[in-house]
Amino acid sequence: MRSRSASAVAGIAAIALMATACGDDGDGNGGDEGAAEGTLVIWSDPERADAIQSAAAAFAEANGIEVDVQNVSFDDIQGDVVNAHQAGNAPDVFIGAHDWTGNLLRNGTVQPIELPTDRAASLDETALEAMTLEGQLLGVPYTQENIFLMRNTELAPDAPETFEELVEVGTELKDDGEVGEVLAMAVGQEGDPYRMNALMTSAGGYLFGQDAEGDWDPEDLGIGSDATIEAMEKVAEFGEEGEGVLRRSIDLENEASLFFDGEAPFFVAGPWTVGDANASDIDYEISAIPGFEGMDPAAPYIGYQAFFVTEGSANSALAEEFVVNHVTDTDFLLSLYEADPRTPVQTEALEAVSAEDPNIAVMAETGENGVPMPNIPEMGETWEPLGIAQAQIIGGADAREALETAHESVAERIGQ
């Protein structure tokens, strides 16, 4: 990684002068028109748009431009950006998830980023690795999230060290009639590979292997491997035909209510549930999801959110300046955090918010054994087949048969 070139700085100055002369057209419809001269257009989900608009005010003033943050559903941003780029009316900057990078690169939608050494050093190294593909940094990460164990401290004062210990404590509470479920962990009828990865990896299973450079290798698909089959057989011991702890009747619609209504002492939760936890009557603590006794630590997926620069943006120099120097700025990140609390990956910002909210530090710690979600394009083809297989196994189906079927389906989808 190297410092910004003189030509890039000159480009920023030129665009800033042009922006001062031209101003904004004021129609507020940049999402349909693309980036207007003198306006840096950013796409964000509605939950963060106001926060980004407010936090970007200093950048806009310093550069004599307008910053127009437009609302786009987070679930739609990736596809909409690809389509808008092909049509020539994409935003200059957009917010997204690190596991989009493979698809965005394949479609030629994103511009590689060059971070100066000091800026890169201020960010979590794993976060930068997660945003890197084919040797190129494709976005600037600003937050991370991962699932963890939330427990009702009145019912379970101590954090379990193993999954078996969790089951033992929860089962005793259930047998005593104090709770209705041992664990609130979404499985659902179609499975939830995002959550299940923590347990599957603890038992030795894997989705994709990695090559000698540590890059995800789509040729090494592990769904139907003996290791993954044995891992899911271990998980099945706690399914509907075993301990009955993992159940398809528990899904995203009811998992939180089971915990907040006091019907489950443990909850596989995420940072998106902390606000509800704080507003509830439950005394809670969070800790890492425990792995199986004598096996590997549970490895939850880590997701990173980042700012991307669209390839060929009309304001590409300003867009890169924004993500390189503003998105990595502590004051910007703290301003964004105040309106939208998410765990920062920038060291100074993380230290500052952790001092105010100890949960932030704990949430970061619970991801220490985690693994960044694979960022290759093939990842998107795995969710449905793997989820269905895992749900079937939880329900009592043969693990080998279910996973080999899923393996064949994914292999066909990714062209193996």
pLDDT at 140 (0 to 100): 97
pLDDT at 7 (0 to 100): 31
351 and 237, same structural domain? no
Q: Residue 78 and residue 102: Cα distance in Å, rounded? A: 11
pLDDT at 58 (0 to 100): 86
pLDDT at 195 (0 to 100): 97
The answer as to whether 282 is a domain residue is yes
77 and 23, same structural domain? yes
pLDDT at 226 (0 to 100): 98
pLDDT at 51 (0 to 100): 86
Global pTM value:
0.83
214 and 128, same structural domain? no
Closest CA to 35 of 78, 74, 65: 65
154 and 235, same structural domain? yes
208 and 156, same structural domain? yes
Question: Count of alpha carbons within 13 Å of 96, Cβ hemisphere only?
Answer: 30
Under-70 pLDDT residues of the chain: 1-37
- For 148-159, b where at least 16 C-beta lie within 10 A, e where not — what string? bbbbbeebbeeb
Averaged pLDDT score across all residues of the chain = 89
Q: What is the pLDDT of residues 130-156, one digit of tens each?
A: 999 988 999 999 999 999 999 999 999
Q: What is the pLDDT of residues 174-200, one digit of tens each?
A: 999 999 999 999 999 999 999 999 999
- C-alpha distances in Å from residue 372, one per residue of 214, 224, 267, 356: 12, 21, 22, 26
pLDDT at 416 (0 to 100): 82
DSSP state of 205: -
Helix orientation angle between 383-394 and 399-413, rounded to the nearest 10 degrees: 170
Domain range for 167: 146-301+372-413
344 and 277, same structural domain? no
Tokens of 119: 């800026």
Q: Residue 372 and residue 300: Cα distance in Å, rounded? A: 8
307 close to 91: Cβ distance less than 8 angstroms: no
Distance separating the N- and C-terminal Cα atoms of the chain: 35
Angle at alpha carbon of residue 133, lines to 131 and 138, rounded to 5°: 50
The answer as to whether 225 is a domain residue is yes
399 and 288, same structural domain? yes
116 and 16, same structural domain? yes
Q: How many domains does the chain have?
A: 2
CATH code: domain of residue 164: 3.40.190.10
pLDDT at 37 (0 to 100): 55
If DSSP codes are grouped into helix, strand and coil, which group holds residue 163? helix
222 and 114, same structural domain? no
Closest CA to 123 of 411, 328, 323: 328
Tokens of 244: 């009955």
The answer as to whether 1 is a domain residue is no
32 and 92, same structural domain? yes
pLDDT at 188 (0 to 100): 98
